[in-house]
């Protein structure tokens, strides 16, 4: 099992992933992140610093990305562009001190990720709760501060669809 550094997500993150095959820098891959299946790009194969280190902790590169994956991402991006204004309006209607930066569907469309600019994690949690109460979801709210992504303790999930066309 090899370990790789992979960049993934609309607001990019870099993390270690493991994969049984040989991948090269720049290879497009589908990774199983904490949010679900996302499109990523291999940055480099990581050399083992400690051969006794547990390999099972790193998430998986599921596979190389296919033409169908790129088509799904393109369709999802169009859906998110159409929904951006509506989500911005919801945030304003709900009185939250957040600025929507971007939206992203996971590859399997099991979760919509809302990237929001905020210094306060509480409003990000409130957004997830408001969306769930309105039957909108499943979603995850990812706060972003000036320093980058802000870790959030849980996932915001609603019970319905976000309104994007599949």
CB 131 within 8 A of CB 116: no
Q: Cβ of 100: how many Cβ atoms within 10 Å?
A: 20
Lowest mean pLDDT among 81-85, 141-145, 156-160: 156-160
Helix H or strand E segment including 43: strand 36-46
Give the model's pLDDT for residue 53: 57
The confidence band for 137, taking pLDDT boundaries of 50, 70 and 90, is confident
Domain ranges of the chain: 2-65, 69-149
Alpha-carbon distance 77 to 14, whole Å?
21
Give the model's pLDDT for residue 147: 65
Task: Please give the model's pTM, rounded to 2 decimal places.
Answer: 0.79
Please provide the average confidence, as pLDDT, over all residues in the chain: 85
The dihedrals phi and psi of 159, each to the nearest 5 degrees, come to -115, -10
* Domain 69-149 class, CATH top level: alpha beta
């Amino acid at each position: 099992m090899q370990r790789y550094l992979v960049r993934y997500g609309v607001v990019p993150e870099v993390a270690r992933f493991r994969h049984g095959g040989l991948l090269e820098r720049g290879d497009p891959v589908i990774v199983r992140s904490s949010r679900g299946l996302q499109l990523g790009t291999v940055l480099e194969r990581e050399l083992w610093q400690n051969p006794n280190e547990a390999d099972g902790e790193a998430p998986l590169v599921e596979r190389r990305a296919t033409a169908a994956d790129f088509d799904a991402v393109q369709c999802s991006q169009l859906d998110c562009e159409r929904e951006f204004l509506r989500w911005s309006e919801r945030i304003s209607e709900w009185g939250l001190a957040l600025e929507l930066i971007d939206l992203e569907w996971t590859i399997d469309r099991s979760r919509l990720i809302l990237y929001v600019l905020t210094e306060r994690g509480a409003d990000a949690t409130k957004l997830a709760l408001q969306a769930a109460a309105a039957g909108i979801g499943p979603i995850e709210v990812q706060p972003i501060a000036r320093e980058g992504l802000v870790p959030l303790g849980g996932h915001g999930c609603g019970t319905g669809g976000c309104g994007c066309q599949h």
